[in-house]
Amino acid sequence: MNRKKELKKEYRQMKPAMGVFGIQSQITGKYYLEGTANLRAAINRSIFQLNFGSHPNQELQMDWTKLGQDNFAIKIIDELPYTEEEPQKGYADEVQELQEMWQEKLRLDGASFY
């Protein structure tokens, strides 16, 4: 019984990787970027939504449906580290800033976005 409580406590203290991930069409070169506090969950959610035709970005959804999953690359663009001083702090603003920074950087490199 104690082991179960220990495992629950460990799970609650886990810190999921947060940052920005991208989905890029290998055909058009266009990017979809998303900043999130849980990269793994957000990537899985996006893939699920795209495969079932319910992604909120309709332009990306249309290309995914037309071109197929094999013509897209999904990767983590950047991770945001947790600060030791404030581990319970909300990171929404920092994640948003990181996403905006990458959009601007990629835009300056000539990228286009969904």
> How do residues 54-75 score in pLDDT, each as one tens digit?
999 999 999 999 999 999 999 9
Q: How many angstroms from the chain centroid is the CA of residue 5?
A: 31
Domain membership of residue 1 (yes or no) is no
Domain membership of residue 21 (yes or no) is yes
pLDDT of residue 5: 77
d(CA 84, CA 41): 23
pLDDT of residue 56: 98
- Overall number of domains in the chain: 1
CATH number at residue 69: 3.40.1440.10
The answer on pLDDT for 95 being more than 60 is: yes
pLDDT of residue 16: 87
For residue 113, the 8-state DSSP code is: B
Domain membership of residue 75 (yes or no) is yes
Beta bridge partners of 19: 36, 79
What contacts 106, CB < 8 A, 6 or more positions away?
31, 33, 113
Domain membership of residue 11 (yes or no) is no
- Which domain covers residue 73, as residue numbers? 17-108
